[in-house]
Amino acid sequence: MADMKAFDEAIWRVAATIPEGRVIPYGELARLAGYPGYARQVSKALAKAPKNLDLPWHRVIAKPGRIAFAIGEPAFERQKGLLQSEGVAVLKGRIDLQQFGWSGVSDASPLPAEEFFR
């Protein structure tokens, strides 16, 4: 990919609109951001997001509807706790995408870049 900055910013803008109590797989987030096939790069983009963006990273999960961290790891427990605090049921590290999945349709459309990065 030629322009990682553009990719990262596109991921951040879409991630910022994921509603509370909903989750989306990495690949679907990449597709909504205009980068289909770039699921593996999504977690890297989220990890390097400026802290002031306060992105809901915990709402992004692996495709089969599971938390990507290993069960029992501190990161797994943190993500699970954040999701549960929003009413998302997590059973054995899995989330029902039929019930809690987000398709990208939301009242909160991504802000133009000049407003988002103020």
Domain total of the chain: 1
Pairwise CA distance, residues 73 & 60, whole Å: 17
Q: Residue 61 sits in which domain range?
A: 4-116
Is residue 112 predicted with pLDDT exceeding 60? no
Reported pTM: 0.87
- pLDDT tens for 1-37 read 558 899 999 999 999 999 999 999 999 999 999 999 9
Angle (CA) 18-67-43 rounded to 5° is: 60
Q: What is the domain-level CATH number for residue 51?
A: 1.10.10.10
Angle (CA) 62-47-20 rounded to 5° is: 60
